[in-house]
Structures are given as structure tokens and as C-alpha cells.
Amino acid sequence: AASMFFQLLSDVRWRTATAKWRRMTCSRRSTSSMAEPHPLPLPAQAQVVICGGGIMGTSVAYHLSKMGWKDVVLLEQGRLAAGTTRFCAGIVSTARHVSIELKMADYSNKLYQQLEQETGVKTGYVKTGSISLAQTQDRLISLKRIASSLNVMGIPCEIITPKQVAQLHPLINIHDLVGAMYVPEDALVSSASVSLALATTASRNGVQIHERTSVSHVSVQKGRVAGVETDRGQIQCQYFVNCAGQWAYELGHTVEEPVNIPLHACEHFYLLTHPLKEPLASTLPTIVDPDGRIYVRNWQGGILSGGFEKNPKPLFTEGRNQLEIQSLQEDWDHFEPLLSALLRRMPDLEALQIMQLVNCPESFTPDMRCIMGESPTVRGYFVLAGMNSAGISYGGGAGRYLAEWMVNGYPSENVWPLDLKRFGTLQSSRTFLRHRVMEVMPLMCDLKVPRWDFQTGRQLRTSPLYDRLDAQGARWMEKHGFERVKYFVPPGKDLLDLDQSKTFYKPDWFDIVGSEVKCCKEAVCVIDMSSFTKFEISSTGNQALESLQYLFSNDLDVPVGHVVHTGMLNEKGGYENDCSIARLSKRSFFMISPTDQQVHCWAWLKNRLPDDSNLTMEDVTWKYTALNLIGPRAVDVLSELSYAPVTPEHFPSLFCKEMSVGYANGIRVMSITHTGEPGFMLYIPIEYALHVYNEVMNMGQKYGIRNAGYYALRSLRIEKFFAFWGQDLDAFTTPMECGREFQVKLEKGMQFVGQEALLEQKQNGVYKRFTMFILEDHDTDMDLWPWWGEPIFRNGRYVGKTTSSAYSYTLERHVCLGFVQHFDEKTGEELVVTTDFINQGEYEIDIAGQRFQAKAKLYPFSSLFTHRRRKDEVELSDYQRE
Amino acid sequence: AIPVRSSRLPSLSDAMPAPAHLFPLIRNCEISRICSTACYCHHKHLCCLSSHFAHSHFRYAPQKKFAALYRPKENFNYFIHARDYASTPQRFYLTPPQVNSILKANEYSFKVPEFDGKNVSSVLGFDSNQLPANAPIEDRRSAATCLQTRGMLLGVFDGHAGCACAQAVSERLFYYIAVSLLPHETLLEIENAVESGRALLPILQWHKHPNDYFSKEASKLYFNSLRTYWQELIDLNSGETTDVKEALINAFKRLDNDISLEAQVGDPNSFLNYLVLRVAFSGATACVAHVDGVDLHIANTGDSRAMLGVQEEDGSWSAVNLSYDHNAQNEHEVERVKMEHPKSEEKSLVKQDRLLGLLMPFRAFGDVKFKWSIELQKRVVESGPDQLNDNEYTKFIPPNYHTPPYLTAEPEVIHHKLRPQDKFLVLATDGLWETMHRQDVARIVGEYLTGVHHQQPIAVGGYKVTLGQMHGLLTERRARISSVFEDQNAATHLIRHAVGNNEFGTVDHERLSKMLSLPEELARMYRDDITIIVVQFNSRVIGAYQNEEL
């Protein structure tokens, strides 16, 4: 095996490295292999210590040093690029589903392309292009969606016919193909060399690299990183970057306050062969055959082929078993399905001689997206790991975003989908991770369809009503570990089983959700929304109000009993969180945020609230069950249960009252529904949950009450043009850009975070605008459904992407929400987006390459709903005040 | 069991009214030939020696509960032989799903719960299954986790002369073991709870298949006996920590003693009275494993067997016996029996490989006919209920019966320290071992549990192998192991092999189908009850224990 590694690394030309690098190389060799007694001593202190000398660690070091942070030490327990990076297949592919991942891969590709010239280290970069094959129509749709995204990003990409595939690659059997996607600029590299090249530049810029040094402990003082302990001594530092790959989880636990990094390794196999009789050209495109679960690239005249099997083998569950990845066992029986797929795809390879089956563990995360960002508990502790076997594709971009994050305080793109804080401690059980990655790894090749839910690691957090709802036909999805109802399958009706229900078209629950929506519109529905994150912030004096006024953009100095919708903005005016805050008393506030904000929002507030023992913040998420009573008859149900007047005159919109419901006292009732429909949110201490639910259902019977789920809620809120944080809103979106100026009180008499940026926007105008689109010529039954991420075209030119979509049962049309930008026709420069610009365009939405006409709107259809507007006027009129 | 070498043709056909679909199998063969060769009886525990007994037995054979005793049992191999005689075989097959539903009817699996990825138990879980040949089946199985002490108990029990004794032992033995293991304080606590009518600490958590029943009627009686036992233990209070080996031996002996006593004392309730007598007059062997960390104790009484599956460094499988059969094939056993009785009896003690020419296992629970004095037997039978009194079998005193007891329930205990290469333990009644060699058992279970991977890993090494060749090889391997995937239960898989193996050691569906479609009355001729428990060990935990000890 050892000789094999040598061959793998054969294009790493140590000798061609710069003189300085060679010196490092020599010293390394002498320190490691010859065990010279005096390796270079570690510095006593540094600004940044990076742990991990793989592609991630070197990329972070490279970018930090380029951005001017040069007091950086990189520690590697073995040798540089000797872990997963060394075994990596070296494919740089930009064909990604998530737009931030796509951007990272694109940047990486461009970075690697010029790296050899920049550093003088041969990286083996060859622009080969890649071809993703489709064996089914559904797969082709999936590829077309990616192609649309790539094209608007300016990355050349085309959908080609099987015949064209045959022209591009001589070995492929095209008989079972329906089409393919060709990305001509995708590339191959030697991943270890790329890593070494990045290290070379970093080292030239002053980064110190120490091999054979392992980190045993990260020390923390006052919630900040203070230093690291290694087997070769201590280093004081302000920043620590965990790039330890599959060991990142355990490294995270070597801190006094453990940093949970949810990832888990799985074995990953690929095959290397001897050269063909007529050696393959090094420019031959890489083939990805997701339906066969394999990828194939040319490798030294032969091929390198691996894949993502259905039955992965997780490993290292108990922890660190070895330092570097020794050669794990080859497992041919396990590889058999992939080998069959390979020979089916390239039958002529039968006679090709095997060189080796490489077993190279890769780390996977619970949601198939990588992990980056700062720990919510320890400031200055950064993480970049969990690449889900795309380390080379993401390496450059991910390293850059993390470096920006450290240097500037935030990266230049919205990386929330990758943020460590999207996870809580609940995702770091080893059992959970072991089970989940066994689902995630096969998913690499599975068809990615809308509204797909993970099946493992479920039923972790549940509402006290879970069993009751489940017995009534609830179908569940999961958010942040919490089970939430999608919809209720009526008795006697059965839906398709999971695998068959995967579709890009009209789903089988269409009518079920339709009837739930109808009930919300005409009678009353109950939706269990207990997963919402709930904080209580209170103080002895005015501290709570003062701090919140500073941290939130809306005016919170409202009379007791009022509910305020407000953004929690960053310095640039972008939404870190979008929440509803009820003023419970002069000195205490009840804050409702989206489910996945639990960690992020907590960390954000903790870091910014004054360190004052008179000011307390408590996470009460688990204390309350939330029932959303939506519909025109909600008021009747509630008044019968409480014997208190709850008509709009007595209980106008955006109010909060503590009242009794049935026998239960102290229920926090808020006249909001998060949908724009009339109704109430009931925050119920959990021990009363079942009682209140039963009472509501019993009393509601005569008003036609029924259960509903989140799909109905989504349809309602999207047709009412309600933006949701995490889908539509992110840290790069300001209230001005989504028509929520009314939720910002620039003149509330005191400064608040983001105020300057907003004032500037108010003066200069916005560069993107949240817009609602109604699809015009879209056939709900026959056409592909929009999802999110579809490109928006104005007068034939790309102007932005959608962020969410839903079928509106009221409009009987699809509604997409998204952002419109204004690019200068000649220079491509971003211009101010005006109302006129929005209103005076002809719009089209591109769904998997097919464009549908759409009507743009900046305001919701208020007229449509007038006949049932009762007490939601405040809520809605707020939006129209603008 | 059947009369040896002398069974008569008419009786055979009486005993087995073979249904129409079976006739093709045997109608063309000479039935007399079958019988003259077939009746070498080496399976059944209890065998009646002489022909005159056999004759009289057949008279009361229809009495259901002892009927199984007198069914002819044929050598397994003879079945193939018989088939050869069928010149025009009309095929009758169960379909694979039918075969599976028969094989899986009694399967049970238990996984030790896993927490946070770290399994603190050295046991991953177990699979168990039974395939009846007798109707009703005379084998029993038990599995339970000790709640007041550490460890897990698993056992197989092979009954003879009815299932009453095996049933009672399967219900009671683990309680006796658990109580024997309890520290003094816990015993006191339990006794105090009973005394004051408080809720008892649960001692065992049972892992039972729905078919594994407990008799409700006798629970009070059993409980009282058990309570007397722990009261004595409390009075004894040796103060020493309990040695597992000693605890096992005490528990076995004590339970057998209680069975014997209960039968002597009788019970005012006529149903119970009859029950305790049936328990005492029937017999059962027991093979019990106690696993606690790396300490594995096997207590064996009789001819069921415990076998450890060991994976060698090269991935191959080997078997290590963890019990000795107590039968005539075991020289030490024969020696022991002879030592315990006067020299004058030496010739009559073991005949035709049976104890007193009757009983195959040399140790067993119950079987008071081999333990009580003649006077005691007579007194109990005469004062017993009519059913007992009318039963020729119970009245029959073994020949050459001079110095009872001839039989003991005392187990032989083997202690084994588990090593990471010890991957599984198989406990099975002789129904398995008589059809399969332990080496094959080790290989089949080992390959099943690892999904063939570690069996013989293919390594390309320096050889010149093409992708096509490798693909061919792998496809072939896959086909070979596909039968493995039919079963979700290692014990079921083993039974499939035990019943369906052809001469090449692979499952022959045709054969399996025929074996399983044998009618109740005939099945016993071709196979014995099979009961199997396969315990899978957690090598990681065992490795960690080992490291700790180092």
C-alpha cells in the first residue's frame, strides 16, 4: 500500500517547490522520518492557531495570510495533506444544488487554476470538464435545475444529448441515457499538491507550519479562546481554527466548554486501474453517473472510479482510532454494486487491470452541507470541516469565507446554510450521527426532490401532542430535531410510500393541503407550532428594554400587552433574526423566533447583552406548547373557551393577553397567526397542552375545526407575501429590501444596530427588492413545480432568484417569492431597484430550463381577502402603510 | 424415542398415518427396509429397552402426552436414501414464502439498547428460534437480563418424556440463578418487601417470544419454593461475594431438588398436583450461559451444547466447545457414573449408550424415575392422581435399579474470558448438533453475522486481475450469500442450513421444502426439535475491557 500512496502523490513534485518550501520539506523530513532531536520550536504565542494540515487548514492559512493576518500557526498531527486530502479523488466540480456551495466550488476552481503559476508548485490542474449523466427523466430535471443556476452564475454549462456524450467520451455506453449535463470548466487536480501549494504561499507570507504536532486541548478564558496545548508545548492565541476533518468532532470536545461539531466518518471506496492499452487522455471529461452512484475520472492513463453506495459503512464512532488514515481494508464485496455500475457504464473496461481499491474515509454531516463558522459558546473558536466528500471542490471557497469571517467579522456571502450554529447539541449524539450519516451518504447520489425529509434520527424533540396528532393521521417533517406536522392524511385515504412520492411535479398531498387551507380560510384550523424558539428576557430595572431597543430595529417601548414584529439586525442592516416580541410587563419580554434560531439567536444576544446580573435571558422553548388557531371562526372558539371578549374591538391584532382557556390558566394568547389570516397563537405551559388542545377541538367542532400542518401554513403565508427568516430573509437582506420599513423605527430616539446602514439605504435606495411573482401560464397539473432557487428573468435578462414558492389555493396559481436586482445592461454593475423598475418589467421564472410568465407584485393581494378581513387589519395595514 | 432394533411394521404405520402428499416419497420404497435400518435410535433421550416394553408401550401410545416418546425416529441420512427409491417422484413443494413462514414462526431477536454510540454491554444482542419436530415441541428457551446484578442469562432446555419439566425449568431456573447471585442486602430487601406486602424489586427482565409462555397456575407454588430458597440463603449469609460458578451449580441443584420435593409433597389443587408430578416424571437438559462483561460462564446439564464462534486473524471461523455433552460418548461421564455406583452394577449402568439402557443424557432435571428410591416412586404414583396411576410408563421401574439416584442435575460449569476474536456464542439443543458439525455452525453463523465480508476478503495484492474477472468473482460470491439475506435472524439461518443442507453444505430448497412439509406424525422420524440461541458479542467493548485490565 505504501508504494501506492507514493504513486498517488507522484505528481507532487517536491523538488519543483520553491527554495523556501524545499527547506521546509527537508527540515520536515529530517524531523519526522529521521527523528532528529531538535524540530523547530513552537512559538509561545500567535494570533491564530489552525489545527489540521489538509486542504481546509491550508486554504484558511492561505486566505488569512493573503488578507494580511500573518501571525498564524498551522499545526498538523501527521504530515501536511496526509489525511483525507491525500486520498481525495481530486475532482473539482461546480455542479452543486445549494447556491452557496456552488459559489464556493466556482471560486475554488478559479483559485486552483492559477495556483501553479502563483506558487510554482505543480498542482496537476487539468481542465477536463465533467459530464453528469441522467438515466431517468427525473434525473434530467434535477440536472436542468442545476444547469439553470450555473448559467446565471456565468459558469458555462449545457444540457446535452446521449449522442453528444458519446462524442465527448469514447468509453460510455449511452443506451440507457436520456440526457446529460456538460460543465466544460470543471477540473481535476492532485488534491495533496493543491494543499501543499496553498501551504507554500501561506508559508511565504509568514504562516508557520508545524507537522507532527497534535493539539490536545484548547483553553478558554471568559468565553474566549486563550490558547492551545500540544504535545510539543503551549501556544497562546486569540483564534483557533478547527480544520481537523473527521477528527473535528473529538477536537471540539477537548475544550472546557465543548464545541459540538456534528460530523461522522464513513468508509469511501474508489478503484484505481493500470493504464488502458491506449492510455486515456488526461483531458478526458470526468463522468458522474448518479443513477449508477459512481464517478469516473481519468487517472494516469487508466481510471479512478468511486461512488456512494446505498449501504455505507460508518466508522470511528467511538472516536479517534488512529492518527493518519492508515490504509483501511479493501472491501471488494462492498464495492461490487459500484463495480457493476461502472462496467455497465463503460463495458470496454472489462479487460482493464486493477491496481488497487482505495478505502478513504470521508466525513459527513447531518444535512449534507459542510460546517463552518464560529462556535456559539466559545468566541474565537472557528470550525471548517464536514465536507461530505467534496473537500476539494469547496476547499478554496470555504477557506476564503472563513478567513473573511475571522478578519471582517462576517463573510462576503450568506453562509447561514453552512453555519455551525444551525446545529444544536442535539445533533451531536454519536448514535444520532452514526445513523444519520448512513442516510446522508447514499443521498449524495439520490435524486434531490422538493420537500424531502430525513428518515433517521427522528422523534427526538416532540410536542406533548405528538401522539394525539399522529393518531389523527399526521405526517411529519423535522426541523432542528423537532417533529412538525406537514399535513393530516384523512382517514381512509392513503398516500404513496416515501420512495414513490418523490416528484418534481404536483405532489400527492395536493388536495389534502388544499382542504386544510380552505378550512383556515373559511372556518378554523389548529396548527401545532411548538417548535418555535422562545426566549424570555427580563430585568429588575430598565435594562431589558434598553438593551432590546439597541438590538432590535422596531420600537419596543410599546404599552404592555403589545406584540411587535421586528428584525434583529446586524451592522449592515441585514436580518440576523426575524421575530415577534411581546411585552409581558414593563420589564419583561417574550420573544418568538424561527425554530432553527435557537442556537444562533441565543449566541447573538448573549454576546451583545450587557454582562449585568440584573438582566436575565432564559430559553423557554421547551416550556410552552404553541397552538396556532387560524381562521375566521378562531375568535368564536376562543371566546367560548375563555368567557372573555376576544372580538377585534377587545382584542385587536398584535396584542398579547394572559387568559384562561378551559380549566387552564395563564395561557399567553397573541392575536397573530404568522400568516396574515385572522386568529390567535396560544402559548400554553406544556402541562396544560393536552387539556387546551382537547378543549379547543371539542369546542371547535361546531365551527368546523380541524387539524392542519405546516404545508397549509406555508401556502397561506406565501400568498400573503410573508417572508420567513432562513428561507427568504438572511443576514444580507435588510428590512428596506423586503418592504418592511414599517418594522424599523429609525426615529425611536436611540441608536440601534444597523441603523446607519438602513439610513443610508433609505437615502440611496435598495439594490435588491423582495418581490412576489404569480405564475401566469403554469399548469399546476402538468408543469414542473417551482421550489426555490429558480432564476428570475426580467425582459429576458437575469435579475435574481426565488427564495420560496407555494401553490396559492385562493389564487389558484403558483406564487414565488424572490429578490429582484438591477444589473446595468452594459457593465453588469448593480443599480438601485426602484418600484418603477419592478413594475415595468415582463417577468419569467425559469424552472429547470423552462420559462414561465410571471406577474410581479410588491404588495399582497389585500382586495382578495377583504371580505374576511376582520381584525387582521392592523397586521395587514402595517404593510400597506409604506 | 422408539423401541430399539425391534419396532414392528404395523406399529409404524399406525403411528404415522402419512397423508397423501407424502406417499410419493415412500410408497415405492420398501417400508420394511426403512424400518429395519431406520430404527437405530440414537436421538431420543429416553428409550425403552426391550421389545416387550415396546410392545406394551404401543398400546398406550395414543395417549397424547407421551406419544412422542414412541415415535420412530429415523436416521437423518436415511431420508435421502429413501428418496432414491422413488422411481417416479411426484414433487410436492412448499413455496419459498411458505418455507420462510414456517422457519420464522418462532424467531425472536433482542438488541441490547445502544446509548450514545457506546455500548457498555459486551453483548450486542441475540437471535433465537425453534423448529418443532415433536407436537407439541419439547424444547424450551429462555433469555433474561439480570436487573439486580449485572449480566445476561440465556438458556436452551431439551425436554423428554413430555415438555412439562423443560417448561418448568425454563420458567424457574433463571430466578434461582439470579437469587443465588444476589448480595445479602438485596436478598434482605426483597424478603422485607414480600413480608410487608410491598412491591418487589424486579429481578429479571425477560426477553420472550410471544409463544414462550409462563404457567400462571403454578406461579404461586413456584414463588413459594423460590422464597424458601432465598430465606435459606439469608440465614446462611456466608458474607462472601458470590462466585458465579458456585451460584450456577447451587441454582441448578436447588431447582431440581425443589422439583423433586414439590412432587413428593403434592398439592391440594388437583391440577397443580398433577402438574408437579408431570414435571418431576418428565425430564429436561439445560445449557445456560451467563455473560457479564468479559466473563462468560456456561453451565451445562445434559447433551445440549454451547459453542463459541471465534474469528481467526485470517478471517476464517473456528469453533470452541464451551460445554461437555453428558452422554455415553463422554468417557468422563461414563467414568463418573460408574464411580458413583457399586462395581456390581458396572455392566447394567450404561447399555446401548444409555443410562440404564434407557436415558440418553447422563444428567438431567426431573426424571425422578432415575432419582427416587423404588419405594418412594411407588408411594407417590399410588397416592397420585388416576392419570398417573394409569400410566404404564410412570409405573415402570427401570431395570437394574439398585442404588438410586442414578441421575443428577448438577451442571458442569466452564468459565471463559471473552476475547475480541470471540464473536458469538451458539447455544443449541442436540437437534442442531446431530445434523451439523460445530465447525460448519461456526462458519455459517460467522459468515451470516459479518455478511460474508470478513470471511475471505478478496485482496488484489500483486496479482493481475481485470475488472471483468473481479466482477465475475464478486457476482458469484453475491449469489452464494444471497441465501444469507433471506434471514434476519442468525438462528433461523442456522436452522435453514440444519434442515436444508445438501451434501455440498448449501441450502437445497427442494430438500428444505420436503423436510418442512412432513406431517406432524412423521417429522419426528427425520429430525429432532431444534432450539438455537445465537448471542453476538461486542468486540469493541470486550477489547476495551481487555485494555483496562492490562
User: Domain holding A720: CATH number?
Assistant: 3.30.1360.120
For chain A, the domain total comes to: 4
Alpha-helix runs per DSSP H in B5-95: 9-15, 23-26, 31-38, 51-60, 64-67, 76-85
Mean pLDDT, residues A713-729 taken together: 93
* A650 & A707 share domain: yes
B209 or B23: which leads in pLDDT: B209
Residue A476 confidence (pLDDT): 94
Q: Is residue B2 predicted with pLDDT exceeding 70?
A: no
Q: What is the count of residue pairs from A and B with beta carbons less than 8 Å apart? A: 78
pLDDT band (50, 70, 90) for residue A500: confident
Please report the pLDDT score of residue A771 as a whole number.
Answer: 96
Domain boundary residue among A319, A338, A364?
A364
- Per-residue H/E/C for B509-549: HHHHHHHHCCCHHHHHHHCCCEEEEEEEECHHHHHHHHHHH
Report the distance separating Cα A549 and Cα A749, nearest Å.
10
> Does the model's ipTM exceed the 0.85 cut?
no
- The answer to whether residues A680 and A585 belong to one domain is no
Long-range CB pairs of A485-488, under 8 A, 24+ apart, other chains included: A485/A527, A485/A528, A485/A707, A485/A708, A485/A709, A485/A710, A486/A451, A486/A709, A486/A710, A486/A711, A487/A512, A487/A513, A487/A516, A487/A708, A487/A709, A487/A710, A487/A711, A487/A712, A488/A512, A488/A516, A488/A706, A488/A707, A488/A708, A488/A709
Q: How far apart are CA A419 and CA A405, in angstroms?
A: 11
Q: How far apart are CA B495 and CA B436, in angstroms?
A: 10
Cα torsion angle, A358, A362, A368, A369, sign: negative
Q: Render pLDDT for A140-180 as a digit per residue (tens, 0 to 9).
A: 999 999 999 999 999 999 999 999 999 999 999 999 999 99
Residue A21: inside a domain, yes or no? no
Q: Are residues A615 and A636 in the same domain?
A: no
Task: Check residue B481 and give its pLDDT.
Answer: 64
Question: Which residues in chain A are contacts of B478 at CB distance < 8 A?
Answer: 333, 336
CA-CA distance, A527 to A689, in Å (whole number)?
A: 13
Q: Which residue of A has its CA nearest to B477?
A: A333
Same domain, A549 and A655: no
Chain A CB contacts of B467 below 8 Å: 271, 273, 339, 342-343, 349-354
Tell whether A651 and A569 lie within a shared domain.
no
pLDDT at B122 exceeding the cut of 80 = yes
> Which of A305-314, A325-334, A525-534, B190-199 has the highest average model confidence (pLDDT)?
A525-534
**Is A336 in contact with B453 (Cβ distance < 8 A)?**
no
Residue pair A774/A814 in contact (Cβ under 8 Å)? The answer is: yes
Any CB–CB contact under 8 A between B465 and chain A?
yes
Please say if the pLDDT value at position B327 is more than 60.
Answer: yes
Nearest CA in chain B to A353: B466
Interchain contact B460–A (C-beta under 8 A): yes
pLDDT given at position B521: 76
A198-207, A506-515, B64-73, range with the lowest pLDDT:
B64-73
Report the Cα–Cα distance between both ends of chain B, in Å, rounded.
52
Q: Are the beta carbons of A706 and A643 closer than 8 angstroms? A: no
State the first-to-last Cα distance of chain A, in angstroms, to the nearest integer. Answer: 69
The C-alpha angle with vertex B227 and arms to B223 and B232, in degrees rounded to 5, equals 155
pLDDT at residue A88 in the model: 83
As a whole number, mean pLDDT of residues B321-336 equals 94
How far from A305 is each of A3, A273, A288, A396, CA to CA, in Å? 20, 9, 10, 24
B504 touches chain A (CB under 8 A): no
> Of residues B120 and A252, which shows the higher confidence score?
A252
Instruction: Supply the pLDDT for residue A870.
Output: 39
pLDDT band at B201 (very low <50, low <70, confident <90, very high): confident
B494 closest CA partner among B547, B436, B541: B436
- CA angle, B74 as apex, B68 and B75 as ends, to 5°? 135
Residue B49 pLDDT exceeds 90: no
Domain range annotation of chain B: 96-456+485-547
Long-range pairs for B268-275: beta carbons < 8 A, 24 or more residues apart: B269/B217, B270/B385, B271/B217, B272/B217, B272/B218, B272/B221, B273/B384, B273/B385, B274/B384, B274/B385, B274/B387, B274/B388, B275/B164, B275/B215, B275/B217, B275/B218
Asked if the peptide bond before residue A39 counts as cis, ω within 30 degrees of 0, the response is: no
What value does the mean pLDDT of chain B take? Answer: 79
Per the model's pLDDT, the better-predicted residue between B31 and A805 turns out to be A805
Q: Which of A793-807, B89-103, B303-317 has the lowest mean pLDDT?
A: B89-103
Last residue of a domain, one of A311, A341, A364: A364
**Contacts by residues A506-515 (CB-CB < 8 Å, ≥ 24 positions apart):** A506/A780, A506/A781, A506/A785, A507/A450, A507/A451, A507/A785, A509/A475, A509/A711, A510/A780, A510/A807, A512/A487, A512/A488, A513/A487, A513/A709, A513/A711, A513/A712, A513/A715, A513/A809, A514/A809
Between A286 and B53, whose confidence is greater?
A286
Query: Does position A352 have pLDDT exceeding 90, yes or no?
Result: yes
Residue A876 lies in a domain: yes
pLDDT tens per residue across span B362-411: 999 999 999 999 999 988 888 878 777 777 777 788 888 999 999 999 99
Q: Residues A387-442: pLDDT tens digits?
A: 999 999 999 999 999 999 999 999 999 999 999 999 988 888 888 999 999 999 99
Least confident of A503-507, A602-606, B378-382: B378-382
Residue A326's pLDDT is: 59
Residue B211: what pLDDT?
83
Using the predicted structure, report yes or no on whether residue B453 has a pLDDT greater than 50.
Answer: no
Cβ–Cβ under 8 Å, residues A707 and A526: yes
Asked if residue A193 is part of any domain, the answer here is yes
Pairing relation of β-strands A126-127 and A158-160? unpaired
- Per the structure, the complete domain to which residue A694 belongs is given by 464-488+513-532+631-726
Does A611 share its domain with A648? no
Which residue of chain B is at minimal alpha-carbon distance from A305? B467
What DSSP designation does A715 have?
Answer: H
Q: Which fold, B96-456+485-547?
A: Phosphatase 2c; domain 1 (3.60.40)
CA-nearest residue of chain A to B475?
Answer: A336
Rounded Cα gap, residues B414 and B323, in angstroms: 7
Residue B119 pLDDT class (50, 70, 90 cuts): low
Would you place residue B457 in the very low, low, confident or very high pLDDT band (cuts 50, 70, 90)?
A: low
Decide: helix, strand or coil at residue B180: helix
User: Residue A227 is which amino acid?
Assistant: G
Nearest residue to A623 via CA among A463, A802, A826: A463
pLDDT at A53 over 90: yes
pLDDT greater at residue B17 or residue A194: A194
Q: Which of B364, B353, B344, B352 has its CA nearest to residue B406?
A: B364
| A650 in the same domain as A553 | no
Statement: residue A65 has pLDDT above 90? yes
Contact between A343 and B471 using a beta-carbon 8 Å cutoff: yes
Q: Which helix (H) or strand (E) holds A764?
A: helix A755-764
Q: Are residues A707 and A811 in the same domain?
A: no
- In this prediction, residue A325 has a pLDDT band, given cuts at 50, 70 and 90, of low
Are A304 and A204 found together in one domain? yes
- Mean pLDDT, range A35-61, rounded to an integer: 87
Contact B467 A331 (CB under 8 A): no
Question: Grid coordinates standing for B314?
Answer: 485470517
A331 and B457 in contact by Cβ < 8 A?
yes
Q: In this complex, do B466 and A431 lie within 8 Å of one another by their Cβ atoms?
A: no
DSSP string covering A436-455, please?
HHHHHHHHTTS---TT----
Q: Is A266 in contact with A314 (CB distance < 8 Å)?
A: yes
A591 and A601 housed in the same domain: yes
Contact B474 A329 (CB under 8 A): no
Rounded CA-CA distance B7/B18 in Å is: 18
Are residues A332 and B115, on separate chains, in Cβ contact within 8 Å? no
Average pLDDT over residues B444-457: 69
- In sequence order, the β-bridge partners of residue A180 are A133, A160
Looking only at the bridges linking them, the beta strands covering B350-351 and B152-160 are unpaired
Q: Is B426 exposed, middle or buried (0-12, 13-18, 19+ CB in 10 A)?
A: buried
Of A519-528, A789-798, B309-318, minimum mean pLDDT range = B309-318
Q: What DSSP element (H or E) covers A537? A: strand A533-539
Among residues A29, A77, A31, which one has the least CA distance to residue A53?
A77
Kindly report, residue by residue over B230-264, the tens digit of the pLDDT: 999 999 877 677 799 999 999 999 999 999 999 99
pLDDT classification of A862: cutoffs 50, 70, 90: low
Residue at A388 is within a domain: no
Structure confidence by residue, pLDDT tens digits, B527-542: 889 999 999 998 888 8
Sorted by sequence, the CB contacts under 8 Å of residue B417 that are 6+ apart come out as B294, B295, B296
Confidence of residue A27 (pLDDT cuts 50, 70, 90): very low
| Cβ pair B408, B279 in contact under 8 A | no
The Cα–Cα gap between A837 and B308 comes to 79
The answer on pLDDT for A673 being more than 50 is yes
Could you tell me what percent of chain A has a pLDDT over 70? 92
Q: For A78-108, give the DSSP string.
A: SSTT-SHHHH---EE----SSHHHHHHHHHH
3-state secondary structure of B171: helix
The one-character DSSP state at A655 is B
pTM: 0.71
- pLDDT of residue A835 exceeding 80, the answer is yes
Residue-level pLDDT at A105: 96
| Cell numbers linked to A468 | 394525539
Residue B150, class by beta-carbon neighbours within 10 Å (0-12 exposed, 13-18 middle, 19+ buried)? Answer: middle
Task: Check residue B22 and give its pLDDT.
Answer: 37
- Return the residue matching grid coordinates 450404561: B350
Share of chain B above pLDDT 70, in %: 78
pLDDT at B510: 81
Q: Are B137 and B130 spatial neighbours (Cβ–Cβ below 8 Å)?
A: yes
Do A661 and A744 fall into the same domain? no
Chain B residues near residue A357 by CB distance under 8 angstroms: 460
Indicate which of B111, B115, B453, B471 best probes the interface with A, i.e. most A CBs within 10 Å of its own CB.
B471
Residues A830 and A871 in one domain: yes
